[in-house]
Amino acid sequence: MPGIDNTLTFKPVRISVLTVSDTRTEADDTSGDILAERIQTAGHQLAGRKIVRDTVLEVRETVQTWINDPEIDAVISTGGTGLTGRDVTPEAIEPLFEKKIEGFSVIFHQVSFQSVGLSTLQSRATAGVAQGTFIFALPGSNGAVRDGWDKVIAMQLDSRHKPCNLVELMPRLREK
């Protein structure tokens, strides 16, 4: 049966959180707060946290810095995945991907559809792997962050999740 096998040992993952927004500050970054709180409550390590403006350069430079850091296993961004001219997160991070995790977007949209219906089609949530680091890009709304973490990412970053999870792949991500 799929789910958490509590007989297995939990392995914490080191995760950085990036908020992409022209308007958010540390004082009102509620989506980043939700992610940081959930990451730590789950037993993972918050390895970094930053807010950057909606520019390809700032988003890409921050994510590139984190994927170059061997102490960071995953990056989760919130914001910039919509359809407006300022939404550039996919354009910034997808060129960094060595492999795209196609199923993430599919599953995220299925989960999101349960919350927001057809409005989910306005999201370009995406995920991939770069230099042995998992990268997830979520929309900026609190609801989307909750859905993305609670119903998709949390289970795949839990080493006890069966029949399989992303954590068990981590030692092999840099294989050639």
120 closest CA partner among 136, 102, 97, 138: 138
Q: What angle do CA 117, 89, 66 make, to 5 degrees?
A: 125
Q: What is the pLDDT of residues 21-54, one digit of tens each?
A: 999 999 999 999 999 999 999 999 999 999 999 9
Q: Which two tokens stand for residue 15?
A: 């995760």
**Is residue 80 a contact partner of residue 20, using CB atoms and an 8 Å limit?**
yes
Return the pLDDT at 176: 82
pTM: 0.97
Domain ranges in the chain are: 13-170
- What is the residue-averaged pLDDT of the chain? 96
136 closest CA partner among 36, 3, 16: 16
Superfamily name and number for 13-170: MoaB/Mog-like domain (3.40.980.10)
Determine what percent of the chain is predicted with pLDDT higher than 90. 97
Q: State the Cα–Cα distance between residues 93 and 163, nearest whole angstrom.
A: 29
Check residues 2 and 167 and name the one with the higher pLDDT: 167
148 closest CA partner among 117, 106, 100: 106
Q: What is the pLDDT of residues 5-20, one digit of tens each?
A: 999 999 999 999 999 9
Q: What is the pLDDT of residues 88-112, one digit of tens each?
A: 999 999 999 999 999 999 999 999 9
Return the pLDDT at 86: 94
**Is residue 156 a contact partner of residue 166, using CB atoms and an 8 Å limit?**
yes
**Is residue 36 a contact partner of residue 149, using CB atoms and an 8 Å limit?**
no
- Write the DSSP string, 100-152: E-HHHHHHHHHHHHHHHGGGGGG---EEEEETTEEEEEE-SSHHHHHHHIIII
18 closest CA partner among 35, 6, 4, 2: 35
